[in-house]
């Protein structure tokens, strides 16, 4: 019988050795637990001071709200909220973290000063991942100044080349006081979407009101410019206005030229606005289709393109709609293309 089962036959010092072995085992397991705990502590604790290389390793731990994405380079991180306007995607809100851990916030493509009240409790440099989360949350939920969205003001600034120039220096440098902002699919405080607005160059962008104090006070300037324009128009350009009923026979050469320019501008504005509506419709109501149906639709469009072009004038809604879809169908990479149900019905009716 082996000595392990026969306790009477066990060798000398068997129990002492067994006891020592158990003691050692116990110690090593305790050490193991302590080491493991230490390791976990190291994982959770962020380095002090916080470093850019640590951020690089852990940037994916920053949780992003819906519609936000991360772009990274070796020297910068950009957390951006992207808006889809037709086929165009635009960054409406952005938090940038540079290699030296300083941050910048961009709203509608413009810098928001880090001294803004909203960033009162945010450190000037990133000291922890939680600071980035704090910044993103602030930027994502803040209300953006809606500027001045009145169509009359937009027309006025458009007629002046998209900006209001306060003065021009001897060197020819312009001092701009307000400008037209491009489409960011922005939402006003009451939830309405605006495609364009006039912003003062001093606009503070983030406000808890409908519009910031700078854009509010600039409103009176726009009002006076608009009324001056109206009175000038009444006195001098009545016959050159696009709605004028004056007969061309009674206009001199300059007036005819002005009338033609106005008509051309109006036509271009209408086309732009229709184009925007078409893109928005396709973006919001369009659907993706299977590959065979996509190629059938594309063939039908190409075959009937000439007939549609003949049937509808260049500025008509139908023509713009058709051309917009055809343009995308012809693209090399049209896999992600969205088809508006009306175009699908139209193609089917042309074929069958």
Cβ 203 to Zn ion shortest distance, Å: 3
Closest CA to 281 of 81, 83, 87, 66: 87
Closest CA to 297 of 242, 337, 237: 337
Cβ 136 to Zn ion shortest distance, Å: 22
> Of 62 and 212, which has the nearer Cβ to Zn ion?
212
Q: What is the CA radius of gyration of the chain?
A: 34
Binding mask 188-207 for Zn ion (x = CB under 5 A): ---------------x----
Cβ 154 to Zn ion shortest distance, Å: 15
* 215 is a site residue for Zn ion (CB under 5 A): yes
Closest CA to 92 of 142, 133, 55, 126: 142
Cα end-to-end span (Å), the chain: 96
Which residues lie across from 194 on neighbouring strands? 186
Cβ 104 to Zn ion shortest distance, Å: 19
> Of 112 and 215, which has the nearer Cβ to Zn ion?
215
> Of 94 and 337, which has the nearer Cβ to Zn ion?
94
Using CB under 5 A as the binding rule, the residues of this chain from 111 to 150 that contact Zn ion are: 145
Tokens (6 digits) for 264:
């051309």
Closest CA to 129 of 208, 192, 83, 70: 70
Contact residue for Zn ion among 62, 212, 300, 329 (CB under 5 A): 212
- Residues belonging to the chain: 352
> Of 203 and 222, which has the nearer Cβ to Zn ion?
203
Q: Which stretch binds Zn ion (CB under 5 A): 215-223, 233-241, 256-264, 277-285?
A: 215-223
Distance between CA atoms of residues 94 and 114, nearest Å: 13
| Site size with Zn ion, rule: CB under 5 A | 4
Cβ 301 to Zn ion shortest distance, Å: 44
> Of 146 and 278, which has the nearer Cβ to Zn ion?
146
Q: Tell me how crowded residue 92 is: count the other CB atoms within 10 A of its CB.
A: 21
Residues whose CB falls within 8 Å of the CB of residue 281, separated by 6 or more in sequence, listed in order: 321, 340
Tokens (6 digits) for 128:
């922890």
Tokens (6 digits) for 319:
């023509």
Cβ 185 to Zn ion shortest distance, Å: 18
* 300 is a site residue for Zn ion (CB under 5 A): no
Cβ 263 to Zn ion shortest distance, Å: 34
> Of 39 and 110, which has the nearer Cβ to Zn ion?
110
Q: Which parts of this chain interact with Zn ion (CB under 5 A)?
A: 145, 203, 212, 215
């Amino acid at each position: 019988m082996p000595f392990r089962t026969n306790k009477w036959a066990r060798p000398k010092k068997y129990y002492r050795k067994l006891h020592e072995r158990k003691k050692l085992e116990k110690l090593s397991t305790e050490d193991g637990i302590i080491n493991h705990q230490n390791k976990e502590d190291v994982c959770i604790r962020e380095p002090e001071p916080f470093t850019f290389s640590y951020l690089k390793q852990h940037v994916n731990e920053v949780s992003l709200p819906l519609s936000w994405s991360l772009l990274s380079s070796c020297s910068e991180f950009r957390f951006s909220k992207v808006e889809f306007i037709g086929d165009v995607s635009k960054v409406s809100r952005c938090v940038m973290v540079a290699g030296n851990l300083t941050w910048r916030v961009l709203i509608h493509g413009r810098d928001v000063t880090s001294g803004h009240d909203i960033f009162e409790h945010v450190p000037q440099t990133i000291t922890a991942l939680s600071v980035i989360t704090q910044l993103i949350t602030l930027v994502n939920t803040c209300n953006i100044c809606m500027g001045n969205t009145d169509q009359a003001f937009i027309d006025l600034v458009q007629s002046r080349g998209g900006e209001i120039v306060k003065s021009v220096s001897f060197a020819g440098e312009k001092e701009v006081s307000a400008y037209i902002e491009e489409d960011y699919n922005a939402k006003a405080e009451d939830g309405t979407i605006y495609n364009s607005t006039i912003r003062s160059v001093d606009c503070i962008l983030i406000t808890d009101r409908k519009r910031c104090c700078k854009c509010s006070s600039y409103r009176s300037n726009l009002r006076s410019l608009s009324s001056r324009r109206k009175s000038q128009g009444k006195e001098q350009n009545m016959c050159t206005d696009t709605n004028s009923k004056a007969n061309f026979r009674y206009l001199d050469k300059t007036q005819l030229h002005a009338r033609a320019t106005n008509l051309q501008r109006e036509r271009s504005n209408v086309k732009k606005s229709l184009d925007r509506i078409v893109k928005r419709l396709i973006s919001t109501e369009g659907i993706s289709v299977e590959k065979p149906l996509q190629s059938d639709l594309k063939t039908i469009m190409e075959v009937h393109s000439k007939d549609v072009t003949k049937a509808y004038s260049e500025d008509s809604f139908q023509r713009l709609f058709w051309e917009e879809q055809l343009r995308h169908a012809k693209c090399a990479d049209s896999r992600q293309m969205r088809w508006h149900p009306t175009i699908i019905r139209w193609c089917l009716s042309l074929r069958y």
